[in-house]
Amino acid sequence: MSTTPVVPPAPAGSATVDPFILTDDAAGLLDFLVDVFGAIEVPEARTTDTDGLILHSELRIGDSTLMIADRKPGWPYTPAFVRVYVDDPAATLKRAAARGARIVTEPTDFWGDVLSRFADPFGHLWWVYKHNPDNASWDEGSADGTGEGDWGQADSDAGEQSWESFATPELTAVHSSLMEAMASLKDPRTR
C-alpha cells in the first residue's frame, strides 16, 4: 500500500479539499478575512440568491480557496474550524483582535511549530500556525519542539496512551484553551 496520497485533478486555484463556511453576515466575514489574512476575493465567484444573501463566494488565502455563503434563516448554526499557516502568528492575532476576534490561544511552541487560535466575531474558530520546517516533525521530537520525548508512543502491551502522559506545560495550555473556546462557542443569532 502506498503512503503517497493520490492527488486528483482540480481546477486552477482549488486544492483537493476546499472548506465551505456557512455563516451569518458572509460579506462581513469576507472583509474580516481579507484584513486578517490578506485573503483575495475572487469577484466573479460572488453569487447572491434571490433573497439578497450570498449563496457562494470564494477567497484565496495562500494556495488555498475558502468558500463562504450566508446561512439561511432556519439553517442550523455550523461553526467552522479552520487551520491557516501564516508567517507571523502574533501579527495575525493582532489584526484579528482589532477586528473584534477573541484570542483563544497565544502563540505557543507546538510540535516544532507555533500554534495560536482565535474565535472570530461570526462564531468560527481559527487555528493559526507558523510552520518551522527546521524543527521536529510529527515523527520525531516532542510537543515543545525540543526534539526530546517519545510523542506518547505506547508500547505494544500498553495500547493507546492519553496525551497527558507526554504533556508539557505548552501542550496543556493549548489543550485547555481549546476546551474553553469550544465551550464558549454560541450561535450568533442567540447571543
Q: Which residue has the higher pLDDT, 185 or 93?
A: 93
Has residue 139 got a pLDDT over 80?
A: no
Residue intervals of the chain classified under CATH 3.30.720.110 are 79-191
76 to 79, 163, 182: CA distances (angstroms) = 10, 32, 17
Q: Where in the chain is the domain with CATH 3.30.720.100?
A: 13-78
13-78 placed in CATH 3.30.720.100: yes
Average model confidence (pLDDT) across the chain: 86
Query: 106-138: per-residue pLDDT in tens?
Result: 999 988 899 999 999 999 999 999 998 887 555
- DSSP letter at 69? E
pLDDT 10s digits, 67-102:
999 999 999 999 999 999 999 999 999 999 999 999
Give tens-digit pLDDT for 29-42.
999 999 999 999 99
Q: What pTM was computed for the model?
A: 0.82
Nearest Cα neighbor of 100 from 66, 124, 133 is 124
State how far the Cα of 110 lies from the Cα of 2, in Å rounded to an integer: 29
pLDDT of residue 151: 41
79-191 topology per CATH: 3.30.720
**pLDDT tens per residue, range 12-22:** 777 778 899 99
Task: Name which of 55, 79, 58, 45 is nearest 15 in CA terms.
Answer: 58
Q: Which residues pair with 67 in a beta bridge?
A: 20, 58
Query: Do residues 111 and 95 touch, judged by C-beta distance below 8 A?
Result: no
